[in-house]
Chain A
Amino acid sequence: MTWENINWDEIWQATQDTLTMMVFSMIFTVILGLALGVLLYLTSSRQLLYMPALYSVLSFVVNILRSVPFIILMIAVMPFTEAIVNTTIGVKGAIPPLVIGAAPFFARLVETALREVDKGVIEAAQAMGASKWDIVRRVLLRESRPGLLAAVTVTAVTLVSYTAMMGTIGAGGLGDLAIRYGYMRFQTDIMIVTVVILIVLVQLLQVLGDRLVRRISRR
């Protein structure tokens, strides 16, 4: 096998595109998913804002979004993508589908992380006169930090594979490169390089995430 097809400028550009998609979609995923996860937690049974109707609706929507395979979801939301960013291609057009795909996933992870918070600590905060907002901010989000960070790591890794899929509908990035050259033109060398870069990216994210979790865990 030869490595003659490799254009490092193109690979570098694709890597940058992937990273840009990752960073922006991660930011929006964390913001939306955190809010949604907290709401899921608070409205579930025996919690501070117990609202069975709202919980059912939220939970239903999250389940629907999570049950559609991402490769279908990213196409199905195209009209919505067009409506909010005026394009469905490029890095910009990739962000809405990525967020719609990852936020519900992240929200469930957040919900699970919050459930791990000791109920006694919440009770103690209530006894000290903390409001519900105080409890969310000063107890729930603080006590669940290791779990939340682990959730961010898992979601980031998932987003790497989602960005690759987005490559098939014109988002650019490493996935696009692998499919266009590696798959359509049988240029195996490009395929190998992109796969290696993706693996390195995932490894880096996981190691970084695990380190941070260990650093802030105090149990």
Chain B
Amino acid sequence: MELIGGVVPGGINLIHLQDVTKTYRSAGGGEVDAIRDITLDVRKGEIFGIIGHSGAGKSTLIRCMNLLERPTRGTVKVGEVLLTDLGERGLQRERRKIGMIFQHFNLLSSVTVRDNIAFPLKLAGQKKPAIARRVDELLTLVGLQAHGDKFPSQLSGGQKQRVGIARALAANPEVLLCDEATSALDPQTTNSILSLLMDINEKLGLTIVLITHEMGVIRSICDRVAVMDAGTIVEFGNVLDVFLKPSHPVTRQFVDEMSDLSDGAPLRTRDNSRLIRLHFVGEETYQPVLFEALKGSPVQCAILQGTVSRMKHTPYGQLLVELSGGGPGEADAVIESLRASGLDVEVLPE
């Protein structure tokens, strides 16, 4: 399989999966590939999202990155180390450099928040005073200074996930794997956890890989995304590119779940009009391009639908516009002038 994503100038690959396949024996005795021939790279410092419906294989894929699931075939490299070549001891050592958080937090219920966060430090054999200092730092980082001596059962979901994050970061990992980290949280808590993750990514330069079935998560914090379906990656690239112009049906489904833009056909109000969809990305989102293009033209426009939003730091917008009036070719001229101003114009079929 070709290398999806590839090595892009300036980006150092931190995780490299090569032809990774994981086969499970099903109950009936047959074999099922949970993921099949996946090759992908995660770059140092990015937030990399994997989206897919349940059963698409994203959970298996993220578990192959720290070998919680050992691939049936293929290799996994994190940093300079080929994890698939390591024995148990070596793997345990490498896993300390890979943090992980979970949908259901997976905290020890029998010990306090402090002891939960200290867990990986104790595993690493650190001394008590050093552990106490580090735990204090982490509690501050995730905003739980006041809750160190509580037990997990006394915390809310969002607070539990913060403990999970602090614990995952305790041993200063290079990568943080997030397994549906916000799926058990309400929307508001989800946002606070996502902004914490983005904060950590920017402040500590930590590479983050996350899996989710929520488009909103990908849109708000990811740099690049892989869309999974039936055990393979069906679409891959920068979040903006993938979601502004989805090519695979599954991707389109995810995009549609988020926006309420329809295909426009039922919205047509006048005969002999043209329907166009405009895509704005970045600064042009705020420019009066439509006004400029229509200035001095007999063509009239009606905005049928529209949205202006953000993907991570990039503003983007979509407008569904109906052009009417004017002579033949004049609507075409407007479209041309919109294109000339750098806009992406999609002419919808009659």
Binds A, one of B16-24, B99-107, B185-193, B329-337: B99-107
Shortest beta-carbon distance from B87 to chain A in Å:
12
- Please indicate the chain B residues that have their CB under 8 angstroms from the CB of A138 in the complex: 119, 122-123
Asked if B151 and A120 sit within 8 Å, CB to CB, the answer is: no
Shortest beta-carbon distance from B82 to chain A in Å:
17
Query: Given that A120-B102, A120-B104, A218-B153 are known contacts, is A128 also in contact with B119, CB under 8 Å in the complex?
Result: yes
How far is A139 from B109 in the complex, measured between Cα atoms in Å?
10
Q: Which of B87-114 contact A (CB under 8 A)?
A: 88-89, 91-96, 98, 100, 102, 104-111
Q: Digit string of A110-131 for contact with B (CB within 8 Å is 1, else 0)?
A: 0000000010110111111111
Q: Tell me if B68 counts as interface (CB < 8 A to partner A).
A: yes
Q: Tell me if B120 counts as interface (CB < 8 A to partner A).
A: yes
Number of A-B residue pairs, CB cutoff 8 Å, is 68
Q: Which of these, B109, B119, B177, contacts A125 with CB under 8 Å? A: B119
Closest A residue to B98 using CB positions = A127
Asked if B110 and A142 sit within 8 Å, CB to CB, the answer is: yes
Shortest beta-carbon distance from B61 to chain A in Å:
15
Q: Tell me if B324 counts as interface (CB < 8 A to partner A).
A: no
Shortest beta-carbon distance from B156 to chain A in Å:
16
Shortest beta-carbon distance from A166 to chain B in Å:
36
Q: Tell me if A92 counts as interface (CB < 8 A to partner B).
A: no
Asked if A127 and B122 sit within 8 Å, CB to CB, the answer is: no
Q: Tell me if B251 counts as interface (CB < 8 A to partner A).
A: no
Asked if B110 and A145 sit within 8 Å, CB to CB, the answer is: yes
Query: Given that A127-B98, A218-B151 are known contacts, is A134 also in contact with B106, CB under 8 Å in the complex?
Result: no
- Please indicate the chain B residues that have their CB under 8 angstroms from the CB of A129 in the complex: 91-96, 120, 123-124
- Please indicate the chain A residues that have their CB under 8 angstroms from the CB of B104 in the complex: 120
Closest B residue to A132 using CB positions = B88
- Which of A123, A145, A216 has the most chain B CB atoms inside 10 A of its CB? A123
Q: Which of A85-139 contact B (CB under 8 A)?
A: 118, 120-121, 123-131, 134, 138-139
- Please indicate the chain B residues that have their CB under 8 angstroms from the CB of A120 in the complex: 102, 104-106
How far is A143 from B110 in the complex, measured between Cα atoms in Å?
6
How far is A143 from B167 in the complex, measured between Cα atoms in Å?
17
How far is A13 from B91 in the complex, measured between Cα atoms in Å?
59
Q: Tell me if B159 counts as interface (CB < 8 A to partner A).
A: no
How far is A126 from B106 in the complex, measured between Cα atoms in Å?
11
How far is A67 from B111 in the complex, measured between Cα atoms in Å?
38
Q: Tell me if B232 counts as interface (CB < 8 A to partner A).
A: no
Q: Tell me if B207 counts as interface (CB < 8 A to partner A).
A: no
Query: Given that A127-B98, A129-B92, A130-B92 are known contacts, is A218 also in contact with B110, CB under 8 Å in the complex?
Result: yes
Shortest beta-carbon distance from B84 to chain A in Å:
16
Q: Which of these, A128, A134, A218, contacts B109 with CB under 8 Å? A: A218
Asked if A142 and B111 sit within 8 Å, CB to CB, the answer is: yes
Q: Which of these, B91, B96, B100, contacts A124 with CB under 8 Å? A: B100
Shortest beta-carbon distance from A187 to chain B in Å:
50
Q: Tell me if B60 counts as interface (CB < 8 A to partner A).
A: no
Chain A contacts to B: CB under 8 angstroms: 118, 120-121, 123-131, 134, 138-139, 142-143, 145, 216, 218-219
Additional 20 contacts, C-beta under 8 A, given A128-B100, A129-B93, A129-B95:
A118-B106, A118-B109, A121-B106, A124-B102, A127-B68, A127-B95, A127-B98, A127-B100, A127-B177, A128-B95, A128-B96, A128-B119, A129-B96, A134-B123, A138-B123, A139-B108, A143-B110, A145-B110, A218-B110, A218-B153
What would 18 A/B residue contacts be, using CB atoms closer than 8 Å?
Answer: A120-B102, A120-B104, A120-B105, A121-B106, A124-B102, A124-B106, A124-B107, A126-B95, A127-B66, A127-B95, A128-B96, A129-B92, A129-B123, A130-B92, A131-B92, A139-B108, A143-B110, A218-B152
